[in-house]
Each structure stands twice: as C-alpha cells, then as structure tokens.
Structure 1
Amino acid sequence: MANKKSNKTTYKKQKQTSSFIFWVIGLIAVCIIGLIFLSNGKSETAAFDYTDQPVLGDTSAPVQIVQFGDYKCPVCKNFEGNFFPHIQENLIDTGKAQFYFMNFSFINVDSIRSAKFAETVYKELGNEAFWKFHKLLYSKQPDDPKYEKIDVFTDKFLEETLAEIVDDSDVTKVVHAFKANSSEKNWKKDMSTANRLNVTGTPSIFVNGEKFTGNTFEDLEQMVDEAAKEK
C-alpha cells in the first residue's frame, strides 16, 4: 500500500510539473508572437522616408499625410479638385498635418514620364514650383477616359505646361536635367515605397504610416485627430 501511494504521489507531481512547463512554454510563445506583432506594426508606421519629398504644411505638424498618385489617373484628378481643398483648408493650413505627394506610376508610359518630369521640377526649382506644376498638370488632364490609353503627357506638353508658371531659363534648366534622367533615383524611391506598402491603385492615402480606408473627408479628419493624440 505504501509503495502504491508513493508512486501515485510521484505521478501527481510529474503531472503538475508537466502542466507548469506547458503553460510556461505557452506564455513564452504568446510573448514572442506579441513582440513580432508589435515589431511589424512599428515597421509599417516607420516605412516612410520623408526626406527630399514635396511637402505642404508646417514642419511642426504632428501628423504626416501621404498621397500616392498617378498624373494619368482620373480619380486622382477628382481628388485634387474636390477632396484636396478640404485637406488644405482644414488640416494643412490649420497646422494639424503635413501633406506629401509620392508617385505610383502604373497606368502607362505617360504616368512615368510626367512623374519623372514633376520630380525634376521639384529637384531643380524647389517645393513651391513643384506644387504649382502639380496642380496645373492635374487641371490639364483630359476628361475623356479614352485618353488613358494614348500618350498625352509628351515631352513637349510637359515643357509647355511648365512654361505657364516659370520663365524660359527655368524651363531650359528642368528640361536639361530631365533629359539627363536626374530624377530617376527619387522616382524609384517612391515606387519602392509604394510596392513595399502593397499600394495597388491611386489615390492611396496614408496617415502616419497607416493606410486610410475611409470614404469621406470626415473619416480622414478623424484619423488625423486620432494620430495626433498618439504623438
């Protein structure tokens, strides 16, 4: 009887030890998964390099909004004309957010050509000239959806568009740099960022590294306000 009791006690202790080890291993696994999840979240938020990017807004603004766009995209034209003015008035001008434009050129060769030309304007003439050209280029996008399949933003068209906002010497400067492919690096940087974030269409909006999935300006404003509180 004594031996049976001893064996029973030993088995019970072994069972308790095994259960304890199981739960410890489980807890460690949960912690590891949690750390991986947090790490992935941080890398997603830190995926943007804002240096050498066209920007609007106060440098002290707590929130960064990024738009990925294609100058050939009709939805981007609509965004520029109808959605962006609300961003400008309520988020940029109020100091709530900075606004960046990055290229995701996916429609056709015009998309790439116009993106690289705009990047060259930024590189050679600065931030202010870029935004003037950016706005003008979208305003000149033809309304006929069929134009997406043909070349419209030719070298000549881009030069003539730029000539509407700067003098001849600046146009010559930009054209020379454009033909020398000086904006290739910056354009590739934008495309690499877009691909890393799985951007599939335009316009795509990110707020402090998180993708905006709402539909209205009020949705975006709420997301910006929440992002500001997390700073």
Structure 2
Amino acid sequence: MSNQKKQNMKGKPVKKKTSSSAWIFWVIGIITVGLLVFLLTGNHNKDNNGASISYKNQPYLGNADASVKIIEFGDYKCPICKDFNESFFPVIDKELIQTGKVKFYFINYPFINVDSKRSAEFGETVYKELGNDTFWKFHELLYKKQPVDESLEHKDIFTQDFLLKTLGEVTTKENVKKVSTKLDTSTGSKAVETDNGLVKDLGVSGTPTLFVNGKKFEGNTFGDLEKMVDDAAKENK
C-alpha cells in the first residue's frame, strides 16, 4: 500500500483509524458476543451434555428435598437391569436413599422388544393412577418376575394380562380395575414419549445407565457412585 495519505473526494485527507482504537473496538465486540453466548447457552439447570432435565411427574424414592438426584434409565426386559435392581440397588437404597442423601428416579428406556414398551407404559399408568408407592412395589415385583432364561428376552411375555396379574399382587382388585380402564388411553404412552425424549437428549445408549445431578456415572462400584454423590453434594453447598 502507498504511504501517501488517501484523500477523499473533496481533497481532504481521510483519517486512518489508529491501531489502538481498532483494538478497543474488537475487544468490546468479543466481550459482547461472549456475554450473549453465556446468556443463551449458560449451564442453567442443564446436564453436562447441555440438555435440560425435567424431573417433574417422574417416580422417585427418597427425601424430596435432597440436593443430589440420581436417575436410573432402565428396561423391564433387560437382564442386566434385573441384576442391578436385585444386587446393586439395595445398597444404593440403604446407604444413599434411606439416609436422605439422594432422591432416586426411574426413567424408562424401552428398547428391547414389544414387552419393553408395553410394560413401560403400564408402569407409567400405575404411577399416574395409583401413585408413587404402588408404582415402586409393582416396579420391584416386575423385575423379580423377569424370566431368568435369557433366551426368553425377546419373547412376548409381559402381556397385558400378565401385567394386570402382577399388579394384583401388590394392590387391590379395585385398583387393578382402575388401571385396566386407563390402558387404552394415552396416559402411559405420553409419559414414555417424555422419557424417550430425555434418553435422546442425554445420549443414553444402554441400560441400566445412571446419572448423578445430570452427569453420567462412569464408575463400576458403589464406592465410585458414593464419591460422585458426595462430590455433587459439595458442589450444591
């Protein structure tokens, strides 16, 4: 570029912006853009993947005011979920739920076969019609009644009659009839759709999968989970 001063159409020199003024202009611009990004995408009530987690209308166990929330994503036809609920979960219940440290949620991820979706929708209907306590009794019993033979994993076993009989083992005939009259409505299917949306948002790819305050549990032992819970509790203080 020529070192001669450029002139405007009136023959007067055009003033060149100094490097300092240009620098200030860019700094202000960068700060403004950064502030807008923070306000729009800030980590307000979001998990580590950026997805908002709504715990509303989800079945739970534990202290309603607990600052740490654990989510289990499960499928009633998943044999590993059965093992989890019969071996690992009782320790969680004793050490974390009953002590008031966590609020524990179950969210459906029905992916194995038609039984998965049918039992998930049935369980959601139980929750909506009969409440939290009856749901957890049914939830526990259904996992216990899952066939041990893995060759039956993809067979159609959890029929509507089977599910109604299973519910009848934990509640009254009147309550079973109440649930039965709601099975043809959209009560359960809408709830499962909500669960599937959360599965997608969080990138859940298998069951059982745990999240602690929105962060995926990557450990292998109860000690690992307990430490993650303790760390989450400290972050909330």
> Structures share a fold, TM > 0.5?
yes
Aligned residues: 220
Alignment of 1:207-226 (within 5 A): 207-226=212-231
Tell me how far apart the structure 1 counterparts of residues 84 and 36 of structure 2 sit (CA, whole Å). 39
RMSD: 2.6
Aligned to 1:203: 208
Aligned to 1:8: none
Question: Structure 1 residues 42, 50: CA separation in 2 closer, same or farther (over 3 Å shift)?
Answer: closer
TM-superposed deviation, 1:16:
6.5
Alignment of 1:76-225 (within 5 A): 76-225=81-230
TM-superposed deviation, 1:25:
8.2
Deviations 1:156-210 (A, max 9, x none): 1101111111111111111111122322221111111111111111111111111
Tell me how far apart the structure 1 counterparts of residues 46 and 188 of structure 2 sit (CA, whole Å). 27
- Unpaired runs of at least 5, structure 2: 4-16
Q: Is the helix fraction higher in 1 or 2? A: 1
Equivalent position to 2:46, from 43, 67, 71 = 43
Tell me how far apart the structure 2 counterparts of residues 33 and 74 of structure 1 sit (CA, whole Å). 47
Deviations 1:97-123 (A, max 9, x none): 000000011111100000000111111
Tell me how far apart the structure 2 counterparts of residues 229 and 37 of structure 1 sit (CA, whole Å). 27
Where 2:111 maps in the other structure, the secondary structure is coil
Letter in 2 for 1:136: L
TM-superposed deviation, 1:146:
1.2
Where 1:149 maps in the other structure, the secondary structure is coil
8 Å Cα contact 2:76/2:142 also seen in 1: yes
Aligned to 1:53: 58
Identity %: 51
Tell me how far apart the structure 2 counterparts of residues 180 and 52 of structure 1 sit (CA, whole Å). 18
Tell me how far apart the structure 2 counterparts of residues 65 and 166 of structure 1 sit (CA, whole Å). 27
Question: Structure 1 residues 30, 188: CA separation in 2 closer, same or farther (over 3 Å shift)?
Answer: same
Tell me how far apart the structure 1 counterparts of residues 160 and 76 of structure 2 sit (CA, whole Å). 14
